[in-house]
Structure formats: structure tokens, C-alpha cells
């Protein structure tokens, strides 16, 4: 049993991670700046605190008597959000900076930093049929403006706290995590949740149309939340300390993503492509060679299996909202 701080516990990944850690018998302190009613999941067995971790004193208080820190806290969302809020995304550097300082001062044993595939060089992501990204592709540096630069800088800072101060930092580069109990509307949602929402709304309303950002040929790989949580805990607890990909190698276009969700819903929609909408890089997928070599493991849950669960949850959420009016 360990004493664990989950920063960003009110978020999508954080909520699932807290649940997993509690089930394993750990003592979990869950912290997020959002009001409790806005957390995606709340576990009554955790110590749940509303606190802004961009403030150093709050980080010092949160890391007292803590063995392990999982830092998932960040101001972020899907492509529409990060392209329109670059300064807000970069201010998340205060969270990692202050958590690292506090973790060192309070003698935390291990520190996990949730990085992102947005750190990868843009000139390696210009075509839909991209060669999957390896860890070395982050340099020479040309990450996603704003959000990607913050993640890459915080990776380096985590590295130097390990090298200079002996804090056991671990870093995973998440590739497009999705699943139930997360954001599916409001502007911060990512592509799988957005597509599931749009298809569900079309099915419920009977208006069989869908708006797709861009031409739909842009490609991504998407990792289901259960694989993300398992990989995160594994990386934290092992001895490999360089940044490592945590994502799926099952790459699809956005048009193919819509195909899959249409098949799950049992409908066919007329597609309207918004070529002026944010769409990010043309192609991005994970190369899991290092993950397999280091841990003998990689994400296992197929896209269709994960989307079936995600669509069912989002459909039920939208349906229950409609019934409440």
C-alpha cells in the first residue's frame, strides 16, 4: 500500500486512475482545481481536495507524506481547444514546476508526468500516411504550438530533476486517449468522443447529418482508457526513465472513425466537411517498438471494442439529458 497523489483527478484520465489505485488498496489523495460537482468521477474512498496546483504552497501541502505523484493536471482539450488557447495551455507549466519542487522537498519517491504526442516534430506529421512516431522524433524540436511546447519543456524539467536531485521521474507520451466518463461536448472533447456524440445526436434526432472537421483524411491512433491506466501504472513502477510512447498503433482516418461509429449505431449519415475548422497535423500514430521491447506489453483493446463502450455511454448520457427536459 502506497500513499499516492493524483493531480488532475477530476479529469477524464485522472478519475479512471484514482478508481484503479483505490481498487488496489492504495491510499489516494485526489486533487483538482475544478469544483467537486464538475469532476467526472469521485471515489468516496479517496481524499478529494479542490485545489489549484499551479500555486506552489498548494503543491507543498498536497505532497506532504506522499510516496508517489501522478501528474495528469493540465489545461487542455481537443484540437479546437488547444489551437484557440495556447497561452492557457502553456501556463500548465506552473503545475509541473511547482509539483516537482514540492515533491523533491517532501521526499516523494516517484513522480509520473503525463506528456503528449503533441511534443512530436510537426515536419514528421505532414501526410495522412505518416510513418509511426518514435520517441527520437521529438527532436529537433518543433512541437504543437502552445500545448506541445509546454509538454516538451516539462519533460526536460522532469528529466533534470531526476539527474540533478535524484527524484525518480517517469514520462509517458499519451496518444489520443478516449473512453466513457469523459468530455464529449463543450469544446474540449477529442475526436472519438466528438464523433460518438454527433452520431448519437443524429440517431436520436432523426436528422442524419454529421459535420466533420477538415476533409476527414487526417489520421490518428486512439488508445482506450483502460489501456492508458494500465500502461501509466506500469511505466511509473518500472525503472525505464526516458520518455516513452503510450498509445495504439491502430491508425485510422477521421472518415474511417466515422464509418466505425456509424456501424455501431446502425445508421448512415450525410457528411458535411468543414475545411475551415481546426484539424491539427495531417497524420499521427504511435510506434510502440520501445514499449514492447522495454515492457513486453502494448495497448490491447481494439478501436471498435473501445468505441462500442464509449458510444453506448455517450448515447445514454445524451438520451438521459433529453428525457430530463
Domain 179-220+250-285+302-324 sits in CATH 2.40.110.10: no
What residue segments make up the domains of the chain, in order of their start?
Answer: 3-177+223-246, 179-220+250-285+302-324
Q: Which residue out of 120, 147, 178, 184 is catalytically annotated?
A: 147
Q: Is the peptide bond before 266 cis (omega within 30 degrees of 0)?
A: no
* Rounded Cα gap, residues 261 and 29, in angstroms: 36
SS3 (DSSP) at 96: helix
Three-class secondary structure of residue 126 per DSSP = coil
Nine cell digits for residue 50: 479542490
Q: Cα–Cα distance between 247 and 273 in angstroms, integer? A: 27
C-alpha to C-alpha distance for 146 and 272, rounded to whole angstroms: 29
Q: Give me the tens of pLDDT residue by residue for the chain, a chain 325 residues long.
A: 999 999 999 999 999 999 999 999 999 999 999 999 999 999 999 999 999 999 999 999 999 999 999 999 998 766 677 788 899 989 999 999 999 999 999 999 999 999 999 999 989 999 999 899 999 999 999 999 999 999 999 999 999 999 999 999 999 999 999 999 999 998 888 899 999 999 999 999 999 999 999 999 999 999 999 999 999 999 999 999 999 999 999 999 999 999 999 999 999 999 999 999 887 889 999 999 999 999 999 999 999 999 999 999 999 999 988 655 4
193 three-class SS: helix
Q: What pLDDT is recorded for position 213? A: 92
Q: Which CATH superfamily is domain 3-177+223-246 in?
A: NAD(P)-binding Rossmann-like Domain (3.40.50.720)
Q: Do the Cβ atoms of 229 and 157 come closer than 8 Å?
A: no
Domains 3-177+223-246 and 179-220+250-285+302-324 share a fold: no
Question: What span, in angstroms and rounded, lies between the C-alpha atoms of 228 and 30?
Answer: 18
- Global pTM? 0.94
To the query of whether residue 147 is one of the catalytic residues in this protein, the response is: yes
The SS3 assignment for 60 reads: helix
Cα 132 to Cα 137: distance, rounded to the nearest angstrom:
10
Q: In 119-224, which residue ranges form alpha helices assigned H by DSSP? A: 147-165, 191-205
- Output the pLDDT for position 325: 44
Amino acid at each position: 500500500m502506497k500513499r499516492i497523489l493524483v493531480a488532475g483527478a477530476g479529469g477524464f484520465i485522472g478519475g479512471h486512475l484514482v478508481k484503479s489505485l483505490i481498487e488496489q488498496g492504495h491510499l489516494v489523495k485526489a486533487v483538482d482545481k475544478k469544483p467537486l460537482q464538475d469532476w467526472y468521477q469521485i471515489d468516496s474512498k479517496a481524499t478529494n481536495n479542490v485545489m489549484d496546483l499551479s500555486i506552489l504552497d498548494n503543491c507543498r501541502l498536497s505532497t506532504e507524506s506522499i510516496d508517489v505523484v501522478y501528474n495528469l493536471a493540465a489545461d487542455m482539450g481537443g484540437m479546437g481547444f488547444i489551437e484557440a488557447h495556447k497561452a492557457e495551455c502553456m501556463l500548465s507549466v506552473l503545475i509541473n514546476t511547482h509539483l516537482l519542487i514540492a515533491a523533491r522537498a517532501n521526499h516523494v519517491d516517484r513522480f509520473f508526468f503525463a506528456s503528449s504526442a503533441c511534443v512530436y516534430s510537426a515536419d514528421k506529421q505532414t501526410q495522412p500516411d505518416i510513418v509511426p512516431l518514435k520517441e527520437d522524433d521529438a527532436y529537433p524540436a518543433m512541437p504543437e504550438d502552445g500545448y506541445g511546447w509546454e509538454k516538451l519543456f516539462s519533460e526536460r524539467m522532469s528529466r533534470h530533476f531526476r539527474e540533478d536531485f535524484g527524484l525518480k521521474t517517469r514520462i509517458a507520451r499519451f496518444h489520443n486517449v478516449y473512453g466513457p466518463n469523459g468530455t464529449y461536448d463543450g469544446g474540449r472533447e477529442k475526436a472519438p468522443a466528438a464523433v460518438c456524440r454527433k452520431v448519437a445526436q443524429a440517431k436520436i434526432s432523426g436528422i442524419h447529418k454529421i459535420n466533420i472537421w477538415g476533409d476527414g483524411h487526417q489520421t490518428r491512433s486512439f488508445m482506450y482508457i483502460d489501456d492508458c491506466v494500465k500502461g501509466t501504472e506500469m511505466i511509473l513502477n518500472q525503472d525505464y526513465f526516458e520518455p516513452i510512447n503510450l498509445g495504439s498503433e491502430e491508425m485510422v482516418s477521421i472518415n474511417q472513425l466515422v464509418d466505425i461509429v456509424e456501424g455501431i449505431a446502425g445508421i448512415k449519415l450525410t457528411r458535411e466537411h468543414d475545411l475551415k475548422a481546426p484539424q491539427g497535423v495531417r497524420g499521427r500514430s504511435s510506434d510502440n517498438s520501445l514499449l514492447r521491447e522495454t515492457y513486453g506489453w502494448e495497448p490491447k483493446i481494439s478501436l471498435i471494442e473501445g468505441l462500442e463502450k464509449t458510444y453506448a455511454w455517450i448515447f445514454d448520457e445524451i438520451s438521459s439529458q433529453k428525457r430530463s427536459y
